[in-house]
Structure 1
């Protein structure tokens, strides 16, 4: 788990992410309206800005940053979370509804969720997401009655690892893969 969270940093920067004296990692829990919340290291967050209009690109400090939505199309956004990446070009923003919370955790507090646990949590709390993930093809997802199923299958492509945090399902996203997709899509 630690490798997943720290892989966005160079080896010499890992000390700033994981405290040597306490073994604590400060993480941000980013709310997602239609799927488990996302977890990212706090050090990756460049800014959290109030923003209530749905947008696809955000002008942040003179740089146009692509936006990925963690909320359904019909839900009012409240914030943009701008995240650092490997290069300036690959920075991205997450548009959300709700508040980002910060937690100081030990790596041992983040438990990898096995597939059975992940499926059970999705069935209980996110049945539309589970339907999309189990759909045999994108056509079924597109024609489904449930809103935003197409978004679910896209979102699942960027899930790196489901984890349990304090007994709740969260996910660690593959931000590198997501940022490259958004930059390629934008250009």
Structure 2
């Protein structure tokens, strides 16, 4: 089995020389907090209004992750850098990107707002939100996964949530980009 090479990005390595600011891009999402990612990871922004699963970018098939449900027409996709060129992927969304320069001290860790947590039905055997994800029927075949961390789905925020943060009074989701990339590459293999 090949060893997974992780990003060596750290918050300090993403700081610019201009007064210790971090350049981030806000990507709009539907049904979850908008995403915040380091701007340096964006390779390209493409206007594309069809819901797609792959996109050919610079002669390479790029897997697509969706930030809106299928019944909402997307407007754009961004191509993100990965650990390797094989691990590049796209995010398809509706709306416009927003760029910010923020100080790390202005970024506050916050929990995922309650309105985005999975609903646990009364007759469910699940006792927690994590249990609800483990017992839910999600869009991909998860029978071979044995741990919560390995489960993954576009429809379950907790399966790719790295952390939520608050910037200028707004809550944003920081996604686990490595997990998404590796999942999309595994699906494509």
Q: Shared fold (TM-score greater than 0.5)?
A: yes
Give the 4+ runs in structure 1 shifted more than 3 A.
7-11
Higher helix share: 1
Q: How well do the aligned residues superpose, as a CA RMSD in angstroms?
A: 2.3
2:85 is matched with 88
Indicate the SS of the match to 1:176. Answer: helix
So what's the TM-score if we normalise by structure 1? 0.78
Indicate the SS of the match to 1:49. Answer: strand
* Alignment equivalent of 1:18, drawn from 15, 20, 26: 15
Asked whether the 8 Å contact 2:65–2:154 carries over to 1, the reply is no
Query: Size of the alignment, in residue pairs?
Result: 160
1:84-117 Cα shifts (integer Å, max 9, x gaps): 011000000000001110000001111001x4xx
1:177 aligns with 2:179: yes
Post-superposition offset of 1:33: 1.0
CA distance in 2, matches of 1:183, 1:66: 7
CA distance in 1, matches of 2:9, 2:67: 27
Post-superposition offset of 1:151: 3.9
Indicate the SS of the match to 2:174. Answer: strand
1:131 aligns with 2:129: no
1:122 is matched with 114
CA distance in 2, matches of 1:43, 1:176: 15
- Unpaired stretches in structure 2, ≥5 consecutive residues: 1-5, 121-127, 140-152
Post-superposition offset of 1:130: 3.4
1:74 is matched with 71
- Distance change >3 Å, CA 98–CA 21, structure 1 → 2: closer
1:152 is matched with 155
Post-superposition offset of 1:20: 3.4
Post-superposition offset of 1:29: 0.4
1:131-186 Cα shifts (integer Å, max 9, x gaps): 278336214x78xxxxxxx7432x42111011111111111111011100000001
CA distance in 1, matches of 2:49, 2:181: 22
1:4 is matched with none
Post-superposition offset of 1:9: 4.4
Indicate the SS of the match to 1:131. Answer: coil
- Unpaired stretches in structure 1, ≥5 consecutive residues: 1-6, 143-149
1:3 is matched with none
